[in-house]
A and B are shown apart, each in its own frame.
Chain A
């Protein structure tokens, strides 16, 4: 079942426009990277983990502190 779903997903995604390696000038820029600001993200995850009941989503749940 999982294999079928994965295959279907890949098929659907293959329908998106294909961007060739030589067309990746913009996508290669740092500001276009999905995890381009790791330190800001780590600070934010830590702050919101300490102050809100939900955490994670983008990556792991964060934590590792007995935050008050």
Chain B
């Protein structure tokens, strides 16, 4: 026994070495097999904690790139969405109309009044007709300067200009609501007169189909006003207000929600205070709307004016 102990003591280093290596091999074999990696892996609480902490810090470095990627993706999705929304398609369908055959009518029997059954046939290869009444494309841009405190007109500067295809008069929306209209364009930048200006925007109530114009009352960057609404409409607080699509804004872009309802006694109308959907204090990304049909529309409407 003593000799055995001496032997162990003599080769203790070697034994320890072999033991440790065997343990390592065991771990390797275990982790390389499909049955779980139990203790020694990065899902382990301590290790995962470190990675979590690291990620919390490191993720900030990627934030700008991630934002840009998301913005581009959003633009692509938005383009697709509006492409589908502004299109109607229909096919030619022929239907047979039931005809009464009076000669065969038997007054006593109700069953054979119809001489011919009602059928509806679709033509062999009906031509698909497409009606396109709007054509919108969105250009993403980053807000680089923003003012909300001016009294008459507030400008937003964005980092895209004529090189990206932006022209004065185009409307600008954010991911949640309207923003304004492009005012001046340089090669790489553009300024937007935001909704917080003396420019007017046409809008409608979502539930009641009441149209009106939105004006900004200087003093508060969160609210706009909508006047001359019929007093008979049962308008409630938090009703949505959307754009109409008459002007350059695409239809059904959120403007905001009704936050206060005032009755104007002098002309029996309602005056609505609307909380804007877009938060102009923290605006960071916007989309410039390119209306592909605007030029055509304008040309046509100019004829009206000259005829007058």
* Physical interaction between A and B: no
